[in-house]
Amino acid sequence: MSLGEGFFQNSWAIWVVIAGVLLVFGEIFLRRKIHWVFVIRILWILMLGWTIAEWTKVLSKQLSQPEALHILIDRSSSVFDLPERKKNLDLFLEELKEWTSSRKQPTRIFSFGANVQAETFDLKGNGSLKTLLEPVNQVLKDQDGSVILISDGLWSDYARLPLPTYAVQIADQEEKDVWIDSVQPVFTAFLKNRLKIPVTIAQKGFSGKTVKLSLWLSGQKIQEVEKTLTNPQVTFDFNYFPEKMGENIFILKVSSLAGELSELNNETSFRVRTVRDKMRILHISGRPSTDMKAWRLFLTKQPDVDLVSFYILRSINDIPEAKNDELSLIPFPYEELFSTELEKFDVVILQNFDFNLYFQPFYLANLAQFVRQGGSLLMIGGDQGFHRYRSSPLEPLLPFEFNGIGKFEQDPLSARVVNQHPVIDGLDFAFQIPQWRGYHRLHPRADSTDLVRYSNGIPFVSLRQIDKGRIVTINSDESWKLQFQPMNSAPVFNKLARKIVQYLTFDPEMDPERLISSKWQVGKSTHLHLASDQAVDWKISPLLKAGSKMGVSFKNEREIDFEVTEPGVYEVKVSNLPDAFVFETEEKPWREEWKNLIHDNLKMKKIAENSSGKFFEFDDRKKIFNQPLSGTQIVSASTESWTAASTASSWAILLLTLFFMCLDFFIRKKLQWDG
């Protein structure tokens, strides 16, 4: 605080002074003779002038303090999650705290990441996944003072700050690191076709070193290569042959090296969505029928189906009344189909087909092997159908057991859905309406699933998983009747046929044991449950090293809520399923903030120069205290006139003035000095 006071703050004060000076001058020099008595007159004139000035003076008060110092602290993960940088940050903040305290320097402390928040020197927050300067720019608008910016320079945007900015690099200058620089984030692959995955890794300080790169799927390493870091960037391709449809999350890992800055950027994830270019289907029908026509019409209208059909119009027992060379029909190429060509198909459909009329049972052994290795089989009944396969190589794979010889009967029966499954979802009513004729005497099989049964318990629609393959059977030659059931959209038959084909080609939408999950977002809960709504045991574990959270388990729960506290890739294991599920958070710092963790001095120098500030390396940080970090700021000012209570000296001077005036008059009269 400073105190200013003075008579001269009055606009008329100068004229009073001029008049007083002229009076004194005249008293001294304009007298006819000089006498010592004039000293008394001059004395009371001066004292009277002083009294007038004292009574008319103005008191002025002005309060001031140093300008505020704005301290901005980078709260990003690239600072908080790297121990060396966090250590440097804590050290510099302690030095700043001591300096501002000793100078009584007013400060405003903020940390910035995705947003700006008020802080103290004792930081409480966690690392942010983004670092934005624009919110900082908004906070500093219309402010005075200067800025100390503490960061590594790894910002997601740029803004010119309105105050002089002194930037301090928190990172050490001799940092070394290896990181995954780029990998295409989303791929579309075709089933069983090679997919090239281009990968670029980068390095600083490790030229000539060798690293291992591995590709992981569902927690299993599927490929590994070694690469020598001959250049700042090294590019190569992984080759992948997808075997299942659907979307998979892969993890790419780079082995760490001694002295590396961090392992945060040694891993990344990416998605591969596998689709079918074409579903290759072999359809063999034993004889023409309405049901055969319905299936053929459906299959030929599917744009994603590559269909090969063989419809037996005459068997070896038929009498055509013509020579073979006079017929246009071609022989049934069973040898090629069930040996060399079989592996080219995804699905084989045997519709009311008696193989005994055309080839030996050992060809069915090839078909059984085809199913076990990942192929699919659809068998549709009829009078030449299921019972012909008793004691054949296919019998152990079928999703039912024969009741006796599996006789084909045609008594009318109703049917109903007995198990829910995506294949028949929404189609329950359609099986209950018709009267069904034409079925085989069968028993349910314990390790298979019957979706629909006849009213007498005989399996109607059944399915079974065999090693890597699948089998679906329809115990009827009247599935065409579904074509005439009421439906708002597509006919029921087309819906059922499409879902069966999707199931047989491993479309994830038809997986009854699929896991249903809400979005995975940091700071929120994700809801998980099985499509079957079974109560199971759960275990959730992070797959990226960046996720420090340990695995979490839940016992015998139908549905769970999992709190996602960190970004990453998570593996979900369910007790009744052999394969784990993998999910990825929507926040992906390994592609953005964590990709290249090497500090950036250029951005920090630019922001300092553009604001008339200065840039400092961490080792030179103490030089910042020699800079003009704070000017003087007037907080308030006020003026007030003199009051009698302000001082007693004015009264004393007034009394003395009156005394000398009286003395002057007395002596002047007695000595007749003016005469």
State which of 229, 252, 271 marks the end of a domain. 271
Whether 509 is covered by a domain: the verdict is: no
Worst-scoring range by mean pLDDT, 31-35, 213-217, 441-445, 527-531?
31-35
Q: Are 358 and 283 in a shared domain?
A: yes
Q: Is residue 250 part of a domain?
A: yes
- What is the model's pLDDT at position 194? 86
Regarding whether 519 and 496 lie in a shared domain, the answer is: no
In angstroms, the Cα distances linking 122 to 7, 149, 316, 368 are 52, 17, 92, 69
Mean pLDDT for all residues in the chain:
83
Mean pLDDT over 610-615 rounds to 92
Task: Give strand pairing partners of 279.
Answer: 305
Of 368, 375, 371, 415, the C-alpha closest to 392 is: 368
Write down the pLDDT at residue 98. Answer: 93
What's the pLDDT at 428? 82
Tell me the β-bridge partners of 118.
110
pTM of the predicted model as reported, rounded to 2 decimal places: 0.66
Same domain as 297, residue 348: yes
Q: Which of 242, 271, 300 is the last residue of a domain?
A: 271
Among 589, 611, 644, give the residue marking a domain's end: 589
Q: Tell me: the pLDDT tens digits for 102-154?
A: 988 889 999 998 889 999 998 876 778 888 889 998 888 888 889 999 999 99
- E strands, 142-219, where? 146-151, 165-169, 177-183, 186-190, 195-204, 210-217
Answer whether residue 7 is part of any domain: yes
Same domain? For 259 and 283 the reply is no
Q: How would you list the strands of the sheet with 525-530, edge to edge?
A: 515-517, 525-530, 559-563
Note down the domain range covering 232. Answer: 177-271
Identity of the amino acid at 249: I
Cβ-in-10-Å burial (0-12, 13-18, 19+) of 300 comes to exposed
Same domain, 459 and 528: no
Does residue 538 have a pLDDT over 60?
A: yes
Phi/psi for 354 (5° steps) reads -100, 100
Q: Is residue 510 part of a domain?
A: no
Check the CA dihedral 365-371-377-382 and report its sign: positive
Does one domain contain both 380 and 488? yes
Per-residue tokens: 113: 């990441």
Q: Tokens at residue 387, please?
A: 């019972």
Could you read off the pLDDT of 241-285 as tens digits, one per residue?
Answer: 888 778 888 999 999 999 999 888 899 988 888 887 788 999 999
Residue 415 belongs to a domain with what CATH number? 3.40.50.880
Whether residue 35 sits in one domain with residue 166: no
Is 285 part of a structural domain of the chain?
A: yes
Q: What's the CATH number where 585 sits?
A: 2.60.40.10
Q: For 56-75, what is each residue's pLDDT tens digit?
A: 555 555 555 678 899 999 99
Greater confidence, 655 or 56? 655
* Residue 7: per-residue pLDDT: 45
User: Is there a domain that residue 605 lies in?
Assistant: yes
Looking at the structure, tell me whether residues 331 and 479 fall in a common domain.
yes
Residue 70 in tokens: 């704005």
For residue range 621-641, list pLDDT tens digits in order.
Answer: 999 998 888 765 544 555 555
Predicted confidence at residue 589, as pLDDT, reads: 82
Quick: pLDDT tens for 24-57. 666 555 555 556 666 766 676 666 666 666 655 5
Could you tell me if residue 410 is inside a domain? yes
* Cα distance between residue 440 and residue 32, in whole Å: 157
Q: How many domains does the chain have?
A: 5
> Do residue 95 and residue 46 come from a single domain?
no
Let me know whether 451 and 326 are in one domain: yes
CATH of the domain at 156: 3.40.50.410
User: Is 489 contained in some domain?
Assistant: yes
| DSSP symbol at 533 | -
What is the number of other CB atoms lying within 10 angstroms of the CB of residue 159?
16
Q: Please tell me whether residues 347 and 473 are part of one structural domain.
A: yes
| Same domain for 662 and 583 | no
